[in-house]
Amino acid sequence: MELQIWIWIAVGLSFSLYIGIAIWSRAASTKEFYVAGGGIHPIANGMATAADWMSAASFISMAGIISFSGYDGSVYLMGWTGGYVLLALLLAPYLRKFGKFTVPDFIGDRYYSNTARLVAIFCALIVSFTYIAGQMRGVGVVFSRYLEVDIVTGVLIGMGIVLFYAVLGGMKGITYTQVAQYCVLIFAFMVPAVFISFLITGNLIPQIGFGSSSTDGIFLLDKLDGLHKELGFHEYTTGTKSMLDVFCITMALMVGTAGLPHVIVRFFTVKKVSDARKSAGWALLFIAILYTTAPAIAVFSRTNLIETVSNQPYDQMPDWFNKWETTGLLEFNDKNKDGLIQYKADVSTNELEVDADIMVLANPEIAQLPNWVIALLAAGALAAALSTAAGLLLVISSAVSHDLLKKILVPNISERGELIAARLAATAAVFMAGYFGVNPPGFVAATVALAFGLAASSFFPAILLGIFSKRINKEGVICGMLVGILTMLFYMLKFKFGWFGGGSKEDWWFGVSPEGFGSIAMIFNFITTLVVTHFTPKPSQEIQKLVEKIREP
Amino acid sequence: MKPNNYWKTNIRYITILLSLWFLISFGCGILFVEQLNLVKIGGFKLGFWFAQQGSIFGFVIIIFIYIFLMNKLDQSRKK
């Protein structure tokens, strides 16, 4: 069957599934809208968290980025999984015990202050908006590449779907669609990986194939290191970044994960404290399936690419090469006119430009897999982008309707009124996200990674200290969060976007890149909170009791 | 069990498990990666394996150990 028809079938079927689930799981109360009624099974919540968490970036770009950066790519692998240990051990059980709807809820109540609540709302909105714009863009890109519609139409279709199930079903609808989306995306990711692993190493499990020898008897990683040396690239299995920077980036991503509001709220949806721990475990297990496969795919496709193209005649390239050339993701420029492809690290003699995204997207074609696998990949990429977008939408809408309206501006709003406000806020947020998806501000791609730094520098210290210390007071936390997020914003604007005089690599503070600076800003936050708390009065008896109550199972 | 003991035991578990968490990721995957890379297991240099595979498996195991320990602790507290 024709590829286009397969893709329409796969995307059409998965979308009708999501819509069906949304109609079945409409939310009737604010509790259902914000936390799915609070009775989700831990395994289902684990799957939903995994889909919520793994965005278009994890699905499409990560394996490719690792493929081109080798050991340096480890920061994403460790950074985006290690945060779940922090969540399970330090945050999730206690926040579930606290038993409200949102992160600003916790900050506002624990620090007995609406100012603290406002600062938290501000941070939640900044983090979520930088993140969601990238997701809608991802939806548009996938549509345009696979279904040959233009990006605007793609974004509009994506907006329509998310709008439908997020606005109708709230957290309840989102949770069950995310469970379905996890199944779609993990299946779509694993099928080509297993095929390719078998093809190259004869081993069906990519995680093992990764460390095995290829058909010629040489270990795959040794072979790749050799190929890299030959072509002048840095050795694949060792790094080029400074150890301090690798350390800081990994830390910022881990702590940022634990501080992302759309991940934290997922733990409010389970029945009891022990279920919150369990779902963190299941979530990481489900995520680990993709995250341990990605570096294997990176090595397989890197080796495959080099062996297929390096020093080979251009006119004998396989079909996929020409096909991806037309999309602009592959570019060949025969500089020395010998008809052979020279793929080199040296820019002056290199003749081939390869976009990182191709490593996952072209995988099925490189391995000559049937058309339905390619269709599956398109549906999987859409599932990854839509599930994350929906989770973020909910954070934005609850920050407006619950935290801002109900808790600060109109405290006596009725249940019905709040629900209507939540739906209106979600609708408005979809349109804003769609707008950014169609007209991406130049900084979207750069800021998605930085959203983690923002979360790390604002929420993580505030929540952690709120649970593990009874002494920390509102003055400390308000100053801490502001110092943290503002330093991070300043650093990111200065070194990423050239504001405040800009600066280059040599000017980085302590030699830490903007991606890793979240760790430093977090330390500033901790220090400020502790120092200010030291000079201001203790929280009241009731607050200390509240903290004690949170610590009980 | 007294509430105070419950919290203290919890803190002890957290401290031990977080040290492990730090060791397998920041330790084996970043700080001592060069030394560990001298050891090879199968086709993997050990440090590289920790950074791209081992640490992730380790994280999953750490969380499930904590779930197990805390469920037991919750049980003993009820008695």
The answer, yes or no, to whether residue A176 has pLDDT greater than 80, is yes
Contact of A386 with A406, CB cutoff 8 Å:
no
Q: Is residue A442's pLDDT more than 70?
A: no
> DSSP state, A266?
G
Give me the residues of A, 247-266, that contact B with CB < 8 A.
247, 250-251, 254
Strand pairing category for B44-45 and B40-41 = antiparallel
Nearest Cβ partner for B51 among A74, A281, A552? A74
Mutate to test the interface with B, among A78, A222, A234, A470 (most CBs of B within 10 A): A78
Locate A261 and state its tokens.
Answer: 């509001």
Residues of chain B contacting residue A213, judged by C-beta atoms under 8 Å apart: 43
A457 vs A327, residue with greater confidence: A457
Quick check: ipTM above 0.90?
yes
Residue A436 has a pLDDT of 79
CA nearest neighbour of B64 among A255, A46, A189, A99: A46
Q: Which domains are present in chain A? A: 3-308+363-551 (1.20.1730.10), 310-355 (no CATH)
pLDDT of the residue at A444: 54
pTM of the model: 0.91
Residues A154, A142: Cα–Cα separation, whole Å: 8
Greatest mean pLDDT among A429-438, A442-451, A476-485, B33-42: A476-485
Check whether A154 has a pLDDT greater than 60. yes
Q: Which of B29, B41, B64 sits opposite A281 (nearest CB)?
A: B64
* CA–CA distance, B44 with A211 (Å, rounded to integer): 5
Q: Where are the domains of chain B?
A: 3-78
Q: Is A194 exposed, middle or buried (0-12, 13-18, 19+ CB in 10 A)?
A: middle
In tens, the pLDDT along A59-116 reads: 888 888 888 888 998 999 999 999 999 999 999 999 999 888 888 989 999 999 999 9
Is the pLDDT at A500 greater than 70, yes or no? yes
- Average pLDDT, whole number, for chain A? 86
Within 8 A of B70 by CB-CB distance, chain A residues are 93, 274, 277, 553
* pLDDT band, residue A395 (cuts 50/70/90): confident
What proportion of chain A, given as a percentage, has pLDDT over 90? 26
Q: What is the pLDDT of residue B2?
A: 65
At A415, list the tokens: 């249940």
Give the model's pLDDT for residue A533. 94
Give A247's contacts in chain B (Cβ within 8 Å): 26, 30-31
Q: How many CB pairs under 8 A join A and B?
A: 122
Residue A277 has its nearest CB partner, among B21, B53, B67, at: B67
Chain A environment of B44 (Cβ under 8 Å): 210-211, 221
* Portion 22-51 of B in contact with A at CB < 8 A: 25-26, 29-31, 33-34, 37, 41-45, 48-49, 51
Pair A170, A27: CB distance under 8 Å: yes
What's the pLDDT tens digit per position in A271-293? Answer: 888 999 999 999 999 999 999 99
CA distance A275 to chain B (A): 9
Chain B hits for A551, CB-CB cut-off 8 Å, are 3, 7, 10
pLDDT band for A433, please (50, 70, 90 cuts): confident
Q: What is the distance between the alpha carbons of residues A281 and A42, in angstroms, rounded to a whole number?
A: 9
Q: Which residue of B has its CA nearest to A254?
A: B25
Question: What pLDDT score does A31 carry?
Answer: 83
Determine the pLDDT at residue A48. 92
Listed range (A160-174, A195-209, A525-539) with the worst mean pLDDT: A160-174
Give CA A204 to chain center in angstroms: 28
- Could you tell me which residue, A170 or A479, shows the higher pLDDT? A479
Please judge whether B67 and A278 are an interchain contact, meaning their C-beta atoms are less than 8 angstroms apart: yes
Could you give the CA distance from residue A430 to residue A135 in angstroms, rounded to a whole number?
Answer: 11
Closest CA to A79 of B10, B51, B33: B51
